[in-house]
């Protein structure tokens, strides 16, 4: 399973899919579902939805991960061919100069570029420790005039992403672009292959969602149509075992998958997820019974679509489940394939527990 996860994730990380431009990722995922004999459909926003039919009397489950990644869009083409960009998503400005980027003109026509870093020999002492805001940065694609840029297909609105890359680190760890959340997509694909034959489970809706990095609501239309009783989002959980993360928590890379007990944005958006107690109990008891590791996370500063999905209908029993990640939103995010494998095994075992007797009544869990 680990090798398959490595291959799938590596392929997914190499496919460009800026928020709102997820089509290439969706085509890949649809083809993989087709190979498994699982029918899928997409909605008007671009969400890819597949349903594995089960017991209609059991609470239905929507399991989802987002296909999109953060990046930029071209804001202005300068007369001398340099490009200015607008940011899309939580792009860390500290880590942008000197990055290789890809201008997504169209499949087979994409252009490489460089986010320029001012020549070191011309950098003043005051500039040396200053973070350059993205609005001052520019991209060099090697063309020297606005006309040449236009002829190459680059226009205002062209998507720009970190140049896709995958680096195999030691000990089953992968570094590269858009581990967030292609790792979640890879985990769902793996699980789909395991669950498609199993009967007696609840209706399981697999959703690969759009625009999470943009506005955290791309999965909403899918959830509104599916009206699930339970929603589980697979996405990153911040690993706190890097030297600069001390004190933030107890999540170790390689320590297994994790559940979030509390998330809140904390920067203006009054939203977050406090998971349903039945879901916390389900994953904790399953991990114990299967002798699988399960870590716990609680922190402010990050949200997922689940914050919005939980509020549809009469409320959805929700939980964020995920894989530890280091260096989130940088061009080189790091995850551990053992955590992904643990995540798939835990999910497969937990979903098998959701039958018609599975209660979401709050009073049964107080
Ligand atoms: Zn994410």
Please write the tens of the pLDDT for every residue from 182-204: 999 999 999 999 987 776 688 99
212 is catalytic: yes
| Ligand 1 centre distance from Cα of residue 313 (Å) | 24
- pLDDT confidence of residue 247: 80
How would you classify the pairing of strands 258-264 and 272-273? antiparallel
| Ligand 1 centre distance from Cα of residue 200 (Å) | 31
- pLDDT confidence of residue 199: 65
Using the predicted structure, report yes or no on whether residue 154 has a pLDDT greater than 80. yes
- pLDDT confidence of residue 196: 78
Please write the tens of the pLDDT for every residue from 23-41: 999 999 999 999 999 999 9
Using the predicted structure, report yes or no on whether residue 266 has a pLDDT greater than 80. no
Summarize the confidence of residues 89-118 as an average pLDDT. 95
Active-site residue among 22, 190, 212, 341? 212
- pLDDT confidence of residue 175: 98
Summarize the confidence of residues 328-356 as an average pLDDT. 96
Q: For the chain, give the mean pLDDT.
A: 94
Q: How far from 141 is each of 91, 112, 158, 165, CA to CA, in Å?
A: 20, 6, 13, 18
Would you list the DSSP string of 24-44? HHHHHHHHHHHHTT--EEE-T
**Residues of 270-302 as b/e, b for ≥16 C-beta within 10 angstroms?**
ebbbebbebbbebbeebbeeeebebbebebeeb
Summarize the confidence of residues 211-223 as an average pLDDT. 92
| Ligand 1 centre distance from Cα of residue 148 (Å) | 36
Q: Report percent pLDDT > 70 for the chain.
A: 99
| Ligand 1 centre distance from Cα of residue 138 (Å) | 26
Using the predicted structure, report yes or no on whether residue 81 has a pLDDT greater than 80. yes
Using the predicted structure, report yes or no on whether residue 280 has a pLDDT greater than 90. yes
- pLDDT confidence of residue 248: 86
Q: Is the dihedral of CA 290, 321, 348, 68 positive or negative?
A: negative
- pLDDT confidence of residue 302: 79
| Ligand 1 centre distance from Cα of residue 327 (Å) | 13
| Ligand 1 centre distance from Cα of residue 142 (Å) | 32
| Ligand 1 centre distance from Cα of residue 68 (Å) | 8
| Ligand 1 centre distance from Cα of residue 151 (Å) | 34
Measured CA to CA, the distance from residue 174 to residue 10 in angstroms comes to 9
Measured CA to CA, the distance from residue 78 to residue 309 in angstroms comes to 41
| Ligand 1 centre distance from Cα of residue 149 (Å) | 32
Using the predicted structure, report yes or no on whether residue 236 has a pLDDT greater than 70. yes
> Where is average pLDDT lowest: 1-15, 152-166, 185-199, 286-300?
185-199
């Amino acid at each position: 399973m680990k090798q398959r996860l490595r291959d799938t994730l590596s392929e997914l990380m190499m496919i460009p899919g800026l928020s709102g431009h997820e089509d290439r990722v969706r085509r890949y995922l649809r083809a993989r579902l087709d190979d498994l004999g699982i029918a899928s459909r997409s909605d008007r926003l671009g969400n890819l939805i597949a349903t594995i039919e089960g017991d209609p009397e059991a609470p239905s489950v929507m399991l989802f991960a987002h296909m999109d990644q953060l990046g930029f869009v071209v804001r202005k083409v300068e007369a001398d061919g340099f490009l200015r960009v607008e940011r899309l998503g939580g792009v860390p400005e500290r880590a942008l100069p000197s990055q290789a980027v890809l201008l997504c003109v169209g499949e087979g026509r994409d252009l490489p570029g460089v986010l320029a870093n001012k020549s070191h020999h011309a950098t003043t002492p005051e500039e040396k420790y200053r973070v350059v805001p993205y609005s001052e940065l520019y991209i060099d694609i090697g063309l020297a005039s606005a006309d040449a840029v236009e002829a190459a297909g680059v226009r205002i609105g062209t998507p720009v992403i970190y140049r896709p890359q995958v680096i195999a680190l030691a000990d089953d760890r992968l570094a590269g672009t858009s581990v967030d959340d292609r790792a979640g997509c890879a985990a769902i694909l793996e699980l789909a292959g395991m669950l498609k034959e199993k009967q007696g489970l609840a209706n399981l809706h697999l959703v690969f969602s759009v625009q999470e990095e943009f506005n955290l609501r791309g999965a909403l239309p899918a959830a509104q149509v599916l009206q699930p009783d339970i929603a589980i989002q697979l996405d990153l959980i911040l690993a706190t075992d890097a030297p600069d993360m001390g004190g933030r928590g107890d999540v170790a890379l390689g320590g297994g998958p994790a559940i979030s007990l509390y998330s809140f944005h904390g920067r203006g958006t009054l939203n977050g997820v406090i998971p349903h107690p039945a879901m916390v109990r389900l994953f904790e008891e399953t991990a114990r019974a299967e002798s699988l590791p399960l870590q716990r996370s609680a922190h402010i500063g990050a949200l997922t679509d689940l914050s919005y999905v939980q509020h549809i209908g009469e409320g959805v029993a929700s939980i964020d489940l995920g894989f530890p990640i280091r260096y989130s939103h940088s061009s080189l995010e790091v995850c551990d394939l053992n955590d992904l494998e643990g995540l798939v095994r835990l999910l497969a075992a937990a979903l098998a527990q959701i039958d018609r007797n599975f209660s979401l009544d709050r009073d049964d869990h107080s």
